[in-house]
Amino acid sequence: MVTDDACVPPLTVYGGAANTMSQMLFDKHCPETDAACCVWNPHAVQSLCTGMLTAVVVSMCCSVACGQPTYRGLPVGTTSKQEVITSLGLSPIRTGNADDLRYPVAGSDSLTDRLYFHADKLALVTAASGDDRYPNRQAIEDIFGRPEAQVLFQTQQYLDYTEQGLKFICATDGTTTGIVSFAPQKRRVPAGGPNVSIDLRRRQPHARPNVHNTCLIKVGTAERSIAPTEFDNLLPQGSDVDLDLAEELLARVVVFERNGRKIVFAGLDVFGLGPWDVDRLRTSLATKGFANVIVAMSHTHANVDTIGFYGYYPEQYAQHILAQTEAAVLAANANLKSVQRLQTGTTEMPLAGGRVIDLIRNGRDPGLVDPTVSILQAIGSDGVSLVNVINLACHPEVIRLERARSLSPDFVGTLCREVTARLGGQTVFLNGALGGMLTPDTRFRTNEAATTMGSALAEFVVTAAQQAVPCQSDILSIETQSIELPVTGESVALFLENAPRPIEMHNGRIRTDMNVIWIGEAQFITVPGELLPDIGFEIMQAMSGRLRSIVSLANGELGYLVPNFDFREDGYEERTGPGREAGEIVRRTGLKLATQSPRNP
């Protein structure tokens, strides 16, 4: 069993008779129980790496034909953990997991190589150490030919050689900065498909219409606590676990207004909200003049399950969240201020080692990480930021709630606080294409580790702000596309059949929507679930904004949205998403929205 702590859902504790639907899910997908605290966790044995590492073991037959990658002379896939320690020595880097071995990179105070094990065998290495065989992209291509797939970022490149059991990160000058090694597998990205080559390098955007010497947009902001006022109803009756509040949970809201049109972003420190609650909030706000509301859920795993996906729906707490969020929207609208200018900035986190070391990694497809950190700022008449809308992609799951027993926004809380302290204004966090599976790379899973991660991410946001460029447009535009997603994913289908509130289905399809939003030269596309990076990159490539952001878990949390070409029938993400067709529908809709021109009212 892989013992990585990543991707842990909100705490679900059962005292007495278990909910039938939840117990079925539990029995089928998670046969192990933590008897000490009567907590079962459907993700505990469905680690982020499980899909990847299981495939590694299964694909060992490929290694004879394709060659077996090595790390410091140790074959990946067959070397035991003890053999690694005998060869390399005990790791000098402390971690919270005995199977999380990290070795320092020679000559660096911050870079590390991370080793992963499955069934006591070295299954995966994400290394920032150099290798004389692969000094640069040219040498790599001389050996293996063109990559099976590539993603070109602004300052670095991702090269996929899955059939060779290798992936590489290269700088723009071609220098290799990261090597991911595993047992060779079947090619992941089909030859000739659109994902073979993704180019996300930003060029000068096309001039936008409706440019004014004076910005006509106004901005209002507010935040309200959405922490529970009492803790008795957060867990099923009879549970003997006591929860408390480690850090404030917030609804962070911004209202953009131009000539009567209003667009609202409400960033919530929640695991998620059910479609009935999202609809209730949006309907209520629509009656008060807010027709364009984006409920953006951070997906913190250190808050309870406010969807009821894992069996218990804390209705009283969910309604408190809705009421506080609506109050924040009304307060923000009552505080509209003139904007001197809009500005956007982006920066990239380094992917040395195929991950953002100690911050973010991909547990499903190692190396495939979106390094982009973006910020949209509205600057007031005094030259100080009124709002900082920030976007990056990662699951807020540093903290395991069944261990910490304390509610928290995870890294998002520190991130937003420190950005506000450094830049002024209200900070609103929008999560990106975090699915499948962008997760923290932290060495420990504690509140302190979440704080450290939030501080480190805030530094990247501040760097993006320092590089911000004024927008040449004050457009405020939104276009909405209704979609219907067939629900065939095992866990999601079972949940919807037994949901806490009736959900209207149409021939086995659930109705939701996606949006394209323009605020100046910042372009956002919203997605009602956890979009995998492959689809996110393809949509972003088609977008023309100076700032291009995917907003996941926006107006819906329907689970993982997986690309057709990488759909794995027994994969964790596949079971906990709407199904094979849903990812393709979202992809096509996103590509359509990406090319729509913005329109002012």
- Given a cut of 60, whether residue 49 has pLDDT beyond it is no
Say if 374 falls within a structural domain. no
Q: Name the average pLDDT for the chain.
A: 89
Backbone angles phi, psi at 144, to 5 degrees: -110, -10
Say if 543 falls within a structural domain. no
Question: Can you list the positions of beta strands (E) in 91-172?
Answer: 101-104, 112-118, 121-127, 149-152, 156-161, 166-171
DSSP 222-289: EEEE-S-S-STTSS-TT-----EESS--EEEEEEEEETTEEEEEEEE-SS---HHHHHHHHHHHHTTT
Say if 158 falls within a structural domain. yes
Reported as type and span, the H/E element at residue 591 is helix 580-594
Residue where the block lists tokens 């410091």: 72
pLDDT tens-place string over residues 165-204: 999 999 999 999 999 999 999 999 999 999 999 999 987 5
Q: How large is the average pLDDT for residues 317-338? A: 98
Say if 278 falls within a structural domain. no
Residue where the block lists tokens 């629509």: 286
Say if 299 falls within a structural domain. no
- Given a cut of 90, whether residue 40 has pLDDT beyond it is no
CA angle 186, 439, 590 (to 5 degrees): 70
Q: How many structural domains comprise the chain?
A: 1
Reported as type and span, the H/E element at residue 198 is strand 197-199
Note down the domain range covering 119: 50-199
- pLDDT of 212 reads 56
Say if 111 falls within a structural domain. yes
Q: How large is the average pLDDT for residues 17-24? A: 34
CB 21 within 8 A of CB 500: no
pLDDT tens-place string over residues 82-132: 999 999 999 999 999 988 999 999 999 999 999 999 999 999 999 999 999
- pLDDT of 203 reads 72
Confidence bin at 60 (pLDDT 50/70/90): very low
pLDDT tens-place string over residues 543-572: 999 999 999 999 999 999 999 999 998 899
**Which residue would you say has higher pLDDT here, 278 or 52?**
278
For the chain, how big is the Rg over CA atoms in Å? Answer: 23
Say if 87 falls within a structural domain. yes
- pLDDT of 445 reads 94
Say if 506 falls within a structural domain. no
Confidence bin at 237 (pLDDT 50/70/90): confident
pTM of the predicted protein model? 0.90
